[in-house]
Structure 1
Amino acid sequence: MTISAVLDALGRSRIYDLGLALAPGIPHGPTHSPFLYSLIKKHGQVVYRDGVSAATDVFSMGTHVGTHIDALGHVSKAGRLHGGVSAETAQSFAGGLARCGAHELAPVVARGVLIDGPRLRGRDVLAADDGIGARDFEEACAAQGLSVQPGDAVLVRTGWTRFWPDHDAYHANPAPGVVLDGAAWLAERGVRCVGADTYAFEKVPASGLGVHVALLVEHGIPIIEMLDLEALARDGVHTFLLVASPLKIVGATGAPVRPIAIAEP
């Protein structure tokens, strides 16, 4: 396909922004630094020729705040990261992760598949104690008339975005999510990455972070969390092109990302 053909197709496509807005006060986990922002130079403080001025600002945040992707080194088991890498050898306070960090994550350009949990169960939002397992994935694929193929990016909707940006409601415990046999189902299909509209992807409480271990450590499958999947669900879009490029932060255990879904007209 030529570049002109691609551009023509894009011009007729529907574009969905799957990222949540970043602003002071948005939900963040108790072990993650909150999003902080300040305008540090206002217009008019420095004025150039012809009355021109510029404003600048600064922000800080944890790498697992807002819509973000977990690097493979986010979780370890028995002291090992993905591929058997020693966590102790790879990590340092000054440099982060020399291996399996966010800087090693390639941009995601893949066929996206939306698994709509509330639609499957006839609700607006999943209950806090709902788990999403292999049977749920099978039933959702059948109901939505699709299949998950190797290289796909599978995004799971729970409806949890309705609680954003209420910190206590969004970060509730328990919270719905994928359970172990669901993670195994995804891994067996060779997916490129996974994601969800919750803060943990897996069902909370998550004893031993089993789903994260299965996906990140054992199978090298990155996890995108805190997605906004409502517009896709509202429009009945279940397959699309997903484009997501994590910030290339050397050594980071995760990185902010602004995923885009491109759907047929």
Structure 2
Amino acid sequence: MANEAETNEAETNETAPDTRLGTTEAEVEQYMASLSNWGRWGEDDRLGTLNLITDQTRLAAAQSIRTGRAVSLSRDIDPLNADTLGSGLSLVQRFMGLHEAGDHLEGQSVRFDAVTEYVGISAHGSSTHIDGLAHYSWDGRTYNGFPESDTTSGRGAKSLSVHHAQHGFVTRGVLLDIAALHGVRWLERGHGVSPEELEAAEAAQGVTVRPGDALLIHTGNVEAILTEGPDAIGPAARQAGLHASCLPFLRERDVAVLGNDGIQDVQPSGYSLNFLRPIHAVSLVAMGLWLIDNMQLTELAKACQEENRWEFFFAALPWRMVGVTSSASNPVAVF
């Protein structure tokens, strides 16, 4: 698409949402019921779509490894450059060694030293991170009907915590390269990816998204921001991402994990504040679909081209932290 290729070379101040797609806000709200997985795996289920990743799914994914080539799908978390994507991320790092502490040595000559550290991180930021099911709520409820009040600043996420995903996301991964579909390094900021584009990428790449897959969407968003810089901070920043009309595709294909080199949703979404991020809201609350935001997919897209394969063994392991709604992670693809 010529206009997108031109946008890769020059910045634009355009802020209007992508209007190619006609899904209304009322239709998006209906997705909360029509695409719901509440009760599908029991009234007390806390895993959501991770139930789709079975022993057989993991075994089949492992058996697909051919060359052993591994690709990291994350970026460094650097305290000296913590907010490269302009999301407002805060990160603090402190080191302390014996010699630095000094006082308790009382004049002793100690030849060795050891360093400990403290790291404080806001995972819901520009780092590659997993969104747990307690991250979003709708009308006072989180996934599977648990009350929003179960998640508080004092005790954290009581009912839906990232630690429930203790076995990780180990499954078949599929990359749909939407940037390559249009012949560009990155999509125009504000481009809403349609379900027709997802299907066109499947056809072009000769791959089909199946139940239990980790579906990764390459828009080139991270590369665009790292190359040109963010055009704004936080929700005001324009980004390419999935349009709300893709939600039925995700539910019909029974995707287990959704990853993106942005925050999943196209920004601006084109909807009111209630659906500032409809992919987040419907996926997390209604479907129980786990999300991985701000992945680095540029190297993976190149590897897929070189291997002529867009499916691979995928593993992302969240920290087993109780009561949290997010976790930093270093997902890896193995061919």
Give the TM-score category using the shorter length: 0.7 to 0.9
Instruction: Name the aligned partner's letter for residue 128 of structure 1.
Output: R
TM-score (norm 1): 0.87
Q: Does structure 1 conserve the Cα–Cα contact (< 8 Å) formed by 2:232 and 2:238?
A: no
Distance in structure 2 (CA, Å) of the matches to 1:68 and 1:216: 14
- Using the TM superposition, give the Cα deviation of residue 103 of structure 1 relative to its aligned residue in structure 2, in angstroms: 1.7
Distance in structure 1 (CA, Å) of the matches to 2:121 and 2:185: 31
Distance in structure 1 (CA, Å) of the matches to 2:96 and 2:231: 32
1:245 aligns with 2:317: yes
Q: Give RMSD over aligned pairs.
A: 2.8
- Using the TM superposition, give the Cα deviation of residue 218 of structure 1 relative to its aligned residue in structure 2, in angstroms: 0.8
Q: 2:92 aligns with which of 13, 33, 36?
A: 36
Instruction: Report % sequence identity.
Output: 27
1:192 aligns with 2:256: yes
Distance in structure 1 (CA, Å) of the matches to 2:253 and 2:229: 34
- Using the TM superposition, give the Cα deviation of residue 63 of structure 1 relative to its aligned residue in structure 2, in angstroms: 2.3
Bigger-Rg structure (1/2): 2
- Using the TM superposition, give the Cα deviation of residue 239 of structure 1 relative to its aligned residue in structure 2, in angstroms: 0.8
Q: Does structure 2 conserve the Cα–Cα contact (< 8 Å) formed by 1:134 and 1:185?
A: yes
C-alpha change, 1:7 and 1:139, in structure 2 (3 Å) is closer
- Using the TM superposition, give the Cα deviation of residue 26 of structure 1 relative to its aligned residue in structure 2, in angstroms: 2.3
Segment of structure 1 superposing worse, 6-15 or 249-258: 6-15
- Tell me which residue corresponds to 2:264: 201
Instruction: Name the aligned partner's letter for residue 26 of structure 1.
Output: A
- Tell me which residue corresponds to 1:62: 122
Distance in structure 2 (CA, Å) of the matches to 1:57 and 1:128: 38
- Tell me which residue corresponds to 2:287: 219
Distance in structure 2 (CA, Å) of the matches to 1:28 and 1:42: 33
Q: Does structure 2 conserve the Cα–Cα contact (< 8 Å) formed by 1:63 and 1:253?
A: no
Gap runs ≥5 in structure 1: 1-5
Distance in structure 2 (CA, Å) of the matches to 1:195 and 1:242: 11
SS at match of 1:168: coil
Q: Does structure 2 conserve the Cα–Cα contact (< 8 Å) formed by 1:196 and 1:225?
A: yes
Distance in structure 2 (CA, Å) of the matches to 1:194 and 1:169: 25
SS at match of 1:154: strand
Q: 2:113 aligns with which of 53, 68, 75?
A: 53
| Higher fraction of strand | 1
Q: 1:115 aligns with which of 176, 179, 184?
A: 176
Instruction: Name the aligned partner's letter for residue 313 of structure 2.
Output: L
Q: Does structure 2 conserve the Cα–Cα contact (< 8 Å) formed by 1:215 and 1:221?
A: yes
Distance in structure 2 (CA, Å) of the matches to 1:204 and 1:35: 24
- Using the TM superposition, give the Cα deviation of residue 45 of structure 1 relative to its aligned residue in structure 2, in angstroms: 6.0
- Tell me which residue corresponds to 2:158: 98
- Tell me which residue corresponds to 1:144: 205
Segment of structure 1 superposing worse, 146-155 or 101-110: 101-110
- Using the TM superposition, give the Cα deviation of residue 259 of structure 1 relative to its aligned residue in structure 2, in angstroms: 0.4
- Tell me which residue corresponds to 2:226: 164
Aligned residues: 256
- Tell me which residue corresponds to 1:84: 145
What do the CA deviations read for 1:126-163 (whole angstroms, capped 9, x no partner)? 00021112101100000000000000000011112222
C-alpha change, 1:43 and 1:225, in structure 2 (3 Å) is farther
- Tell me which residue corresponds to 1:180: 244
Distance in structure 2 (CA, Å) of the matches to 1:164 and 1:131: 20
Distance in structure 2 (CA, Å) of the matches to 1:28 and 1:249: 26
C-alpha change, 1:57 and 1:178, in structure 2 (3 Å) is same
SS at match of 1:83: helix
- Using the TM superposition, give the Cα deviation of residue 240 of structure 1 relative to its aligned residue in structure 2, in angstroms: 0.6
- Using the TM superposition, give the Cα deviation of residue 242 of structure 1 relative to its aligned residue in structure 2, in angstroms: 0.7
C-alpha change, 1:22 and 1:121, in structure 2 (3 Å) is same
Instruction: Name the aligned partner's letter for residue 298 of structure 2.
Output: E
Q: 1:19 aligns with which of 59, 74, 80?
A: 74
C-alpha change, 1:253 and 1:31, in structure 2 (3 Å) is farther
- Using the TM superposition, give the Cα deviation of residue 170 of structure 1 relative to its aligned residue in structure 2, in angstroms: 8.1
